Amino acid sequence: MGGEDRSKAGEAIPPGGVRARMVVGAVRLLATKGVEGTSFAEVLAATSAPRGSIYHHFPGGKPELLHAALDLASQRGLTAMEATRGQPATAVVERFLGLWGDLLDRSRLTAGCAVVAVTVAAADEDLLDHAGTIFRTWTERLTELCTAGGMNPEPARRLAVTVIAATEGAVALCRAERSREPFEDVSATLLSLSATQPPHLREHDPESKKDA
């Protein structure tokens, strides 16, 4: 859900893969340098893509590149979270936190959220709308996963919003303070909160109602 990627700019670009490599590079740059630092020149330097690739693959210019980067950042997160389907809310939250903890560790506290980078710096309303849609989609997915794990829908939605907002804030604090401590504090609080969530009471289940 962030921007760190294990690929290297010097790796061979597969046929038809120039655009994909540029999008990956844009996600990484958004996460580390923000919107202003995600210029075509920086993307080309980071990915070793040929200069002629710019308007061949992105005729709409930088906004088109940023939209593609947002899509990739969003899909990465959604895919990674799917492994928790059917598990308790605590496992869902732990997985979400793990993604961000790994990002902070791999980047040595220099990378944040590509979607937040666009949210705070983009003047383009289409990009802001796109970022807002992604946050709503993440919220819906976490809500769905927590519900599948046994929570009632409304508490699951509130937990999802809290987890996303608190984690994004913690990542920003870690980068600013150059310390992992804010993330550790927020993680402990969110895991404790998720562990206290009541299970879903299945309709027409007398045993569940009796236990409640």
Q: Where are the domains of the chain?
A: 18-200
- The pLDDT assigned to 1 comes to 61
Report the predicted TM-score, pTM, of the whole model to 2 decimal places: 0.85
Cα–Cα distance for residue pair 205/212, rounded to 1 Å: 11
- The pLDDT assigned to 90 comes to 97
User: Is the pLDDT at 204 greater than 50, yes or no?
Assistant: no
pLDDT in tens, 92-145: 999 999 999 999 999 999 999 999 999 999 889 999 999 999 999 999 999 999
User: Is the pLDDT at 176 greater than 70, yes or no?
Assistant: yes
pLDDT in tens, 1-58: 655 444 443 344 444 489 999 999 999 999 999 999 999 999 999 998 888 888 889 9
pLDDT in tens, 152-171: 999 999 999 999 999 999 99
Cα–Cα distance for residue pair 17/121, rounded to 1 Å: 28
- The pLDDT assigned to 108 comes to 97
User: Is the pLDDT at 74 greater than 90, yes or no?
Assistant: yes
Query: Within a 13 Å sphere around the CA of 206, how many CA atoms are in the beta-carbon half?
Result: 0
What CATH number belongs to 18-200?
Answer: 1.10.357.10
Cα–Cα distance for residue pair 109/199, rounded to 1 Å: 36
The per-residue DSSP string of 125-191 comes to HHHHHHHHHHHHHHHHHHHHHHHHTTB-HHHHHHHHHHHHHHHHHHHHHHHHHT-SHHHHHHHHHHH
Burial profile 108-140: b = 16 or more Cβ within 10 angstroms, e = fewer: ebebbbbbbbbbeebeeeebeebbeebbeebbe
Which position has the higher pLDDT, 177 or 14? 177
